[in-house]
Amino acid sequence: MKIQVYGTGCAPCKVMLANTQAAARQLGLTDAVQHVSRIQDMLEAGITGTPALAINGEIKVMGQALDVPAIVALLQQA
């Protein structure tokens, strides 16, 4: 599974990254989370608001930081 958190380092982006890492750990996906902070990479992926979360290349959320249970639910659906 490929999990990408897009964010430049703002407070909500840091929360999203930490929550995504915690959710991945709960599901045993510790090495699956990738943090993407390069603006060019975000634009190429179609990200228009941060933080954003993509699972297996599909953007699941943009412009808000989710809590751990919400991320776990998204990961389980993927």
Catalytic site residue 10? Answer: yes
Which run of H or of E encompasses 19?
helix 11-26
Which one of the listed residues 3, 5, 13, 65 is annotated catalytic? Answer: 13
Terminal C-alpha separation, the chain: 8
Which one of the listed residues 10, 11, 39, 43 is annotated catalytic? Answer: 10
> Pick from 66, 65, 76, 77: which is nearest to 24 by CA?
76
Residues with catalytic annotation? 10, 13
